[in-house]
Structure 1
Amino acid sequence: DGKTARRSFDTRERRNPLHAISAWSSQHQLVLGQVAVDEKSNEISAIPRLLTLLDIENCIITLDAMGCQKDIAKQIVKGKADYVLALKGNQSGMKAELEAWWHKSMREGTTPYTYDEFSEVSAGHGRIETRHCEQLIIDRSWLDKDYRWDGLQSVIKVTATVEEKLSGKKSEETRWYISSLALNVQQALDAVRSHWQVESMHWMLDVTFREDESRIRRGTGALAFNVLRKIALSLFKQDTSKNISMVRKKKIAAIDDEYRSVLLKTGIKML
């Protein structure tokens, strides 16, 4: 996923703010690689470049709607990996076709070999969220030839219902995904949920490391400090010596030589 360092622009030099595409490992809780681009619209061309830097074999690659592109799906499959891609308005024709297939299958009936569903409930921050995930195997021959993407096996539908504990107000949102994964609905939901960890990483860069407020912009300064923040973030996440917030870890690391040594040893183990 991509993130912009909003105040890294330079009006005098006519330089746009830094926008970096990051590959986040939800299993290892660290950034595996990144590519800097000039504008957000260039994410589509930057994602293939980032994928070439990584060994993605046997991994599940998740991307938001901007990365839902036929060539990107082909590259992921060629790299012997699977994909889960968010399906929205940028692929409206494909979305309409798959929704039609979904409703047709529901009307005519499904089998345990083509359809499964799973629900989970979580509570926190004053609300209760129920996520209902459904996965349907696609008959590729039914699709238009333009939509028979490499590796495409299933369509995933996630319905999230949120209830506010105090007000009792409820809201519901439905999201669609296409995937090369076979029928395993719990794995599909886990992949969808894991994608939001990269958004959490971006939030921590802004809130804990205050990246959006940084005016470092000369030369490659913005990019260099972006990399350093992500390295520090990974070190704090991997460190288990202190069960405290990342903000407190930052403060202790600034004044405690011994704790900084612990963090550096953690970094060496990661390498």
Structure 2
Amino acid sequence: MGYQKEIAKLIVKQKADYILALKGHHSGLQGELEAWWHKCQREGFTADNFDEHTTIDSGHGRIETRRCQQVLVNKSWLNNKYQWVGLKSIIKVTSDVHEKTTGKETTETRWYISSLDLNAEQALSSVRNHWQVESMHWVLEMTFREDESRIRKGRGPLAFNVMRKIAMTLFKQDQTKRASIAAKKKMAGLDDEYRSTLLESGIKMR
């Protein structure tokens, strides 16, 4: 948490804003902020301290409803050890997913701290962009085993990082196979025809 506080300081110093996800090592801070949230809720949210935005997306066999709620923080109410430079608001994003084929319903809630003023639509857009970056890094690490690569000299790591990202893009946009990226990666390694199809689609993309 101390390291992330320093990052927040640098971001604010550069006159930019931050949205930082609260995870397990932030349990104390999250508890404080949830308590503040419930206090505001009991007293009644107002247009001065609360904003909300909802989106509904359909694709890949599921419907996802994202509800972003944002509350301004009174920093004087927080314990000193939970004071962050530039902290202005708490963001709560609830994602409800309905799987069309199975009818399965799942709900996930994530909490964030931010230096942004009230604008739930902007906050949700920023969070979604962050999810996309996280998703890409997860695929590179888990499917392409990038962290295990022993290529370390010169421009090798950068060159192979670019090639992995190209491969990931080709797998994602491929519509000829209904399979995960990991499965497509295996198929491409074993099937010359499928590999040619992927490379040809890459040429057409240009």
Normalised-by-shorter TM-score class: 0.7 to 0.9
Q: CA deviation at 1:77?
A: 0.9
**Unaligned ranges ≥5, structure 2:** 176-194
Query: TM-score normalized by structure 2?
Result: 0.74
Write out per-residue CA displacement over residues 55-75 of structure 1, whole angstroms, 9 at most, x where no aligned residue: xxxxxxxxxxx7972222112
Q: Does residue 169 in structure 1 map to residue 141 in structure 2? A: no
Runs of 4 or more, structure 1, over 4 Å off, are 213-216, 232-238, 244-250
Write out per-residue CA displacement over residues 170-191 of structure 1, whole angstroms, 9 at most, x where no aligned residue: 1111110000011110000011
Specify the alignment match of 1:89 in structure 2: 24
Q: Distance in 2 between matches of 1:106 and 1:214?
A: 44
Contact 1:205 1:229 survives alignment (8 Å): no
Query: Compared with structure 1, are the counterparts of its residues 68 and 125 closer, same or farther at alpha carbon in structure 2 (3 Å cutoff)?
Result: farther
Q: Distance in 1 between matches of 2:35 and 2:124?
A: 22
Give the alignment partner of residue 212 of structure 1, picking from 136, 142, 145.
145
Query: Compared with structure 1, are the counterparts of its residues 117 and 215 closer, same or farther at alpha carbon in structure 2 (3 Å cutoff)?
Result: closer
- Helix, strand or coil for the counterpart of 2:18? strand
The CA RMSD measured in Å over matched residues stands at: 3.5
Q: CA deviation at 1:113?
A: 1.7
- Alignment of structure 1 residues 133-212 onto 2, 5 Å: 133-202=68-137, 205=140, 211-212=144-145
- Alignment of structure 1 residues 109-148 onto 2, 5 Å: 109-148=44-83
The one-letter code of the counterpart of 1:211 is F
**Unaligned ranges ≥5, structure 1:** 1-65, 239-243, 264-271
- Alignment of structure 1 residues 1-271 onto 2, 5 Å: 69-202=4-137, 205=140, 211-212=144-145, 217=150, 220-221=152-153, 224-232=155-163, 245=174, 251-252=199-200
The one-letter code of the counterpart of 1:212 is R
How many pairs were matched up? 184
Q: Distance in 2 between matches of 1:103 and 1:78?
A: 31
Specify the alignment match of 1:62 in structure 2: none
Q: Percent identity?
A: 49
Q: Distance in 1 between matches of 2:42 and 2:147?
A: 55
Contact 2:141 2:147 survives alignment (8 Å): no
Query: TM-score normalized by structure 1?
Result: 0.58
Query: Compared with structure 1, are the counterparts of its residues 94 and 231 closer, same or farther at alpha carbon in structure 2 (3 Å cutoff)?
Result: same
Write out per-residue CA displacement over residues 108-167 of structure 1, whole angstroms, 9 at most, x where no aligned residue: 012112101111111111111110100001111111122121000000000111111122
